Amino acid sequence: MLQPIVHYGCHFLIPLLVALVWFKTHWKLAYLIMIAGMLIDLDHLLANPIFDPNRCSIGFHPLHSSFAITFYLFLLIPKKSRLVALGLVIHIIADMADCSFM
């Protein structure tokens, strides 16, 4: 019961908190950009079955691989890609939290 709350809480509340604290003047746009980081879950469509409640996304799906995660971390460096990168990294953190329940 706690797992979905933590998982979706991380996906939606952490980006909101980051947007409200560090992007005060444009928090709505910052929040939407970070929430768009959930689009990396499209790689779940490549799996069979598409959804498995006992599968950890990290290391299984291509956009959740070590290589992809390293790329997301490097995207934090340039200012122009930072919001997108924050959304992706927060998404990965949420998925890691989800995996810790398994």
What confidence tens digit (pLDDT) does each residue in 17-47 have?
999 999 999 999 999 999 999 999 999 999 9
What confidence tens digit (pLDDT) does each residue in 67-80 have?
999 999 999 999 99
Averaged pLDDT of the chain = 93
Domain that includes residue 72, residue range? 2-100
Specify the number of domains making up the chain. Answer: 1
CA distances from 81 to 2, 4, 33, 89, 98 (A): 33, 29, 10, 12, 26
- Separation of alpha carbons 75 and 79, rounded Å: 9
Q: Is 50 exposed, middle or buried (0-12, 13-18, 19+ CB in 10 A)?
A: exposed
